[in-house]
Chains A and B, each alone.
Chain A
Amino acid sequence: MTPLLHLQSVSKQFRGLTAVSEVGFDVNAGEICSVIGPNGAGKTTLFNMISGVLRPNAGTITFGGQDLARVKPSRFAAIGIGRTFQNLALFKHGTVVENILVGRHVHLRSSVLEAAWFFGRTRREEIAARQRVEEIIDFLEIEHIRDAVVGTLSYGQQKRVELGRALACEPKLLLLDEMVSGMNLEETEDIARFILDIRDELGITVLMIEHDMRIVMDISDRVQVLNFGRRIAGGTPAEIRNDPAVLDAYLGRSAGQAQAQPVEQQGAAADA
Chain B
Amino acid sequence: MRSGDFKETYSGLIVLSDSTWVWIWSALLAAALVCAPFVLNAYALSLLTLVLITLIGALGLNILTGLTGLISLGHVGFLVVGAYAYAIAVTKHGLPPLAGFAASGLVAALASVIVGVPSLRLRGLYLAITTLAFSFIINNVILEAAAVTDGARGISVLRPTILGIDFDSDAAFALLCLAVTVLTLFACLNIRRSRIGRALVAIRDNDTAARTMGVNLVTFKLYAFVTSAFITGIAGALLGIYLSFVSVEGFPFLLSIEALAILIVGGLGSVLGVVLGTVFIILLPEVVQTVLHFAGSGVEALFANGVHELKAMLYGVVIILFLRFEPRGLVGIWHDVKRLWVHWPLRF
Contacts and interface: CB of A to CB of B under 8 A. Distances in A.
Contacts of A105: 195, 198-199, 202, 213-215
Contacts of B201: 91, 93-94, 98
Interface stretch (A2-10, A70-78, A219-227, A264-272): A70-78
Nearest to A92: B205
B191 A91 contact: no
Contacts of A165: 213
Nearest to B226: A112
Interface string B189-205: 01101111111011001
B26 interface: no
B11 A127 contact: yes
Interface in A49-97: 51-53, 72-78, 82-83, 85, 89-94
A106 B187 CA distance: 22
Given A83-B212, A112-B227, A131-B10, A89 B194 contact: no
B213 A103 contact: yes
Nearest to B5: A147
Contacts of A134: 10, 13
Contact of B214 (A74, A89, A131): A74
The main secondary structure of chain A at its interface with chain B is helix
Given A91-B206, A115-B196, A74 B211 contact: yes
Interface residues of A, number: 48
Interface in A121-138: 122-123, 125-131, 134
Interface in B207-231: 208-217, 219, 223, 226-227
Contacts of B227: 112
A74 B14 contact: no
A73 B210 contact: no
A178 to B, nearest CB: 16
Contacts of A169: 213-214
A169 B194 CA distance: 16
A260 interface: no
A25 interface: no
Contact of B194 (A52, A74, A78, A118): A118
B217 A74 contact: yes
Interface residues of B, number: 35
Contacts of A240: none
B206 A130 contact: no
Given A74-B215, A106-B214, A126 B194 contact: yes
A118 B205 contact: no
A89 B206 contact: yes
A101 interface: yes
A217 interface: no
A110 interface: yes
Given A74-B217, A105-B199, A130-B14, A94 B194 contact: no
A104 interface: yes
B198 A112 contact: no
B133 to A, nearest CB: 27
A74 B216 contact: yes
Contacts of A29: none
A117 interface: yes
B209 A90 contact: yes
Nearest to B196: A115
A119 B214 CA distance: 24
A102 B212 contact: no
A108 interface: yes
A91 B197 contact: no
A125 to B, nearest CB: 7
B190 A116 contact: yes
A77 B211 CA distance: 8
B191 A89 contact: no
Contacts of B186: 116
Contacts of A51: 212
A127 B14 contact: yes
Nearest to A75: B214
Contacts of B206: 89-91
Given A52-B211, A115-B190, A116-B187, 8 more contacts: A53-B212, A85-B208, A115-B191, A116-B188, A118-B190, A125-B195, A129-B195, A169-B213
29 contacts: A52-B212, A72-B216, A74-B211, A74-B217, A77-B213, A82-B212, A91-B206, A92-B205, A93-B201, A98-B201, A102-B213, A105-B202, A105-B214, A106-B214, A110-B195, A110-B196, A112-B196, A112-B227, A115-B190, A115-B195, A116-B188, A122-B194, A126-B14, A126-B193, A126-B195, A127-B10, A128-B10, A130-B13, A131-B10
Q: Which 6 A-B pairs have the closest CB atoms?
A: A77-B214, A115-B194, A89-B209, A106-B214, A116-B187, A91-B205
